[in-house]
């Protein structure tokens, strides 16, 4: 049953669920809602911290920012971070930084010093994770990285960022950034942890396609089971969670 393109709200712990007909509409509306968050954060605190998602789904959202909304975003006051990164050089076709550079960074006037990519040049990936955590702790003064907005995708297996089912990383409670061995190409990755993600003021999870429907259902329904479905652990401590789904990705989730 195709969902009508209206915002449907699930129980508060699951956040707001926005369903649209296709990825284009999802990214158009999510990008616009994100601009509202960005502008409010800058109005209130003079800065806005955003975590970019990797993979392919968010590319369309970044393109909307760059093409249609660039003049509405106060780039000099925006700081960009990454939720995860494949441990490859930044010009590697698999790099999340490269995807963001191609779809967004190369098209907007954001100061280079505002772009805080995960450094993948360390010989020891654990040192890279520690370095990024130090970077975050220099930026955030509190006990947690309270990003203004974290963008996430979800894998067909229920992973989010680079937190995969069965990985010890899904159980991490103290560190903000970890190195992981993923069942994906490339296997070595850096990822924010669930405590870091859940400290955010706003979290958007963006998914499209029927191949994501079971993962979305698993993440939205029942008690969280992060070992099986890491995305079920996306539960902001006090922030707002918004799912942005196309009809196909929402098809199996019972949305009242
Ligand atoms: C990554 C992402 C990852 C991604 C999902 C969905 O580095 O791959 O951070 O969590 O969001 O794998 O990827 P797609 O958007 O390509 O389906």
In the predicted model, what is the mean pLDDT of residues 123-129? 98
- DSSP code for 50: E
Rounded Cα gap, residues 156 and 113, in angstroms? 34
Going from the Cα of 124 to the center of ligand 1, the distance in angstroms, rounded, reads 23
Is any atom of ligand 1 closer than 6 Å to the C-beta of 95? no
Percent of the chain residues topping a pLDDT of 70: 95
Rounded Cα gap, residues 151 and 153, in angstroms? 7
Is any atom of ligand 1 closer than 6 Å to the C-beta of 151? no
Tokens standing for residue 229 = 């479905």
Closest listed residue to residue 228, CA positions, set 165, 154, 168, 176: 165
Return the residue whose CA atom lies nearest to atom 12 of ligand 1: 155
Going from the Cα of 43 to the center of ligand 1, the distance in angstroms, rounded, reads 31
Measured from the Cα of 159, ligand 1's closest atom is 10
Going from the Cα of 44 to the center of ligand 1, the distance in angstroms, rounded, reads 31
Rounded Cα gap, residues 243 and 241, in angstroms? 7
Tokens standing for residue 192 = 């924010």
Cα distances from 228 to residues 215, 236, 237, in angstroms, run: 10, 19, 21
Measured from the Cα of 209, ligand 1's closest atom is 17
Going from the Cα of 46 to the center of ligand 1, the distance in angstroms, rounded, reads 30
Higher pLDDT, 211 or 4: 211
What H or E segment, with its residue span, contains residue 98? helix 96-103
In the predicted model, what is the mean pLDDT of residues 80-101? 98
* Angle at CA of residue 148, ends 109 and 80, nearest 5°: 35
Q: With a cut of 60, say whether residue 4 has pLDDT above it.
A: no
In the predicted model, what is the mean pLDDT of residues 210-215? 98
Rounded Cα gap, residues 202 and 186, in angstroms? 29
Going from the Cα of 155 to the center of ligand 1, the distance in angstroms, rounded, reads 6
Under the banding of pLDDT at 50, 70 and 90, the label for residue 223 is confident
Q: Which of 153, 189, 190 to mutate to test the pocket of ligand 1 (most atoms within 8 A of CB)?
A: 153
Q: With a cut of 60, say whether residue 205 has pLDDT above it.
A: yes
């Amino acid at each position: 049953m195709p969902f009508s393109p209206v915002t449907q709200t699930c129980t508060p712990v699951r956040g707001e669920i926005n369903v649209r007909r296709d990825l284009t509409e999802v990214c158009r509306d999510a990008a616009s809602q994100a601009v509202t968050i960005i502008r409010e954060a800058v109005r209130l605190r003079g800065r806005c911290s955003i975590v970019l998602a990797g993979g392919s789904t968010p590319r369309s959202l970044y393109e909307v920012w760059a093409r249609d909304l660039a003049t509405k975003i106060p780039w000099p006051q925006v700081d960009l971070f990454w939720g995860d990164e494949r441990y490859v050089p930044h010009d590697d076709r698999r790099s999340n930084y490269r995807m963001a550079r191609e779809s967004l960074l190369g098209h907007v006037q954001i100061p280079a010093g505002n772009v805080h990519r995960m450094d993948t040049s360390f010989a020891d990936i654990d040192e890279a994770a520690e370095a990024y955590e130090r970077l975050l702790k220099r930026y955030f003064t509190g006990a947690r990285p309270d990003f203004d907005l974290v963008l996430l995708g979800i894998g067909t297996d229920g992973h989010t960022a680079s937190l995969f089912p069965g990985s010890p990383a899904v159980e991490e409670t103290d560190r903000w950034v970890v190195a992981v061995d993923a069942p994906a190409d490339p296997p070595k990755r850096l990822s924010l942890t669930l405590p870091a993600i859940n400290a955010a003021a706003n979290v958007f999870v963006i998914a499209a396609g029927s191949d994501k429907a079971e993962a979305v259902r698993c993440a939205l329904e029942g008690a969280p089971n992060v070992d099986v479905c890491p995305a079920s652990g996306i539960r902001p401590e006090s922030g707002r969670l918004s799912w942005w789904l196309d009809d196909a990705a929402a098809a199996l989730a019972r949305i009242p």
